[in-house]
Copies of this chain bind each other. A is one copy, B any other.
Amino acid sequence: MNRCKRMRITDISEHAVKLEGNVANALVNFSDHTISVVIVHTDVVRAGKPVAGIAFNSIGRYAQSGILKDRMIPRLMNAEAHELLNDQGDRFDPARVLACAMKNEKPGGHGDRAAAASALELAIWDLNAKLADEPAYVTIARHYGRTAASTRVPVYAAGGYYYPDGGISRLKDEMLSYRDMGFNAFKMKIGGDSLKEDLARIDAVLTIAGEGSKLAVDANDRFDREVARTYAEAMHPYRLRWYEEVGDPLDFDLNCELTGLYEGAVATGENLFSVQDLRNLLRYGGMRRGLDVFQMDAGLSYGITEYARMVDELEAHGFKREFAFPHGGHLINLHIVVGLGLGGCEAYPGVFQPFGGYYLNQVAA
């Protein structure tokens, strides 16, 4: 074990990378969005090369170069080995790494900081998987005392944005391209146009999706109570798969009202970045067991350490982990879904490259 105890991080680099794509949802244009790629270099040599862990924070919350370079990376580089390694000294301990990255940070205020920490923490999981010479989902499952029962993951193709040009015809082409790749479940944006136009868009996509249960819609937090209700009533006959991010993600009363009046599933959680924020959704949001969907994303919420605590919190409140469908469509979430036995995963086959996509051959591999 002495050999292993000497294992150490030699350098951590961060690179802000622009997302590909000029798309918009109901609130946000993604053309200037970036993410942070983090590389954790070690002095462990395999096949003549030092082993490094690589990860990135999830889409939607920008690169976090400042928080990483000014605060978190120096904390890790200044840490003693026992602050970062497990007791055996043969792997990095993600929870310890996270605690070290968060040293002297005050409670609450779970925003950009959570995305910065997640890039670091996820790189540690990639590193551990490489040290064990195994896929990350195996590392994740073992760490949490689970067995990856199946590596087949239900995915759906997310997209259906508002493009600067092309309208409904371009939207149909986009969805058709996903169907041609083999996807049989889809998600599209609503709320960026009038209700009438949005219903026309839903009608158009349903000609490709086939039926409502194969199509989810995402309002990206745009709606107030009245609009949320109007859309709920208008969409009711479609029997859609779910109605996502309807109002402000922290307006738990609005979510509670919505789940009280909309018979179909409601989905939320992608903008909750801590266990405590999720706990408030569970306490006050009226989420319905066996129906509503949770979309927290380890890549935005301090990494797998905090995400796994969120899954525990779901179960402590009587919800099943099969109703967790992580946001973001990046590869590590596919491993997390397998490793933790979750319900399924978002995929972005068409946008947010090079980070948003895995293609169906990866999914099925």
Q: Is there an interface contact between B107 and A110, defined as CB atoms closer than 8 Å? A: no
Q: Is A362 an interface residue (CB 8 A)?
A: no
Q: Is A192 an interface residue (CB 8 A)?
A: no
Copies of this chain, count: 2
Which stretch, A129-137, A163-171, A227-235, A271-279, touches the partner chain B? A271-279
Interface residues of A in 30-74 (CB under 8 A from B): 30, 32-34, 60-71
In Å, the complex CA distance between A68 and B112 comes to 12
Chain A at the B interface: mostly helix, strand, loop or mixed?
loop
Known A-B contacts A112-B67, A113-B112; the reply to A249 vs B104 at CB < 8 A is: no
In Å, the complex CA distance between A64 and B71 comes to 10
Contact of A107 among B68, B249, B283, B284 (CB under 8 A): B249
Residues of B within 8 A of A62 (CB): 67, 70-71
Which stretch, A82-90, A139-147, A250-258, touches the partner chain B? A250-258
Known A-B contacts A63-B70, A67-B66; the reply to A28 vs B248 at CB < 8 A is: no
Q: Is A10 an interface residue (CB 8 A)?
A: no
Residues of B within 8 A of A68 (CB): 66
The total of chain A residues at the interface (CB under 8 A) is 50
Interface residues of A in 282-340 (CB under 8 A from B): 283-284, 300
Q: Is there an interface contact between A108 and B250, defined as CB atoms closer than 8 Å? A: yes
Find the B residue at minimum CB distance from A249. Answer: B108
26 contacts between A and B (CB under 8 A): A33-B104, A60-B106, A61-B106, A62-B71, A63-B70, A66-B70, A67-B67, A67-B112, A106-B220, A107-B250, A107-B271, A108-B271, A108-B272, A109-B110, A109-B111, A109-B112, A109-B271, A109-B300, A111-B111, A111-B114, A112-B113, A250-B276, A250-B280, A251-B279, A252-B280, A253-B283
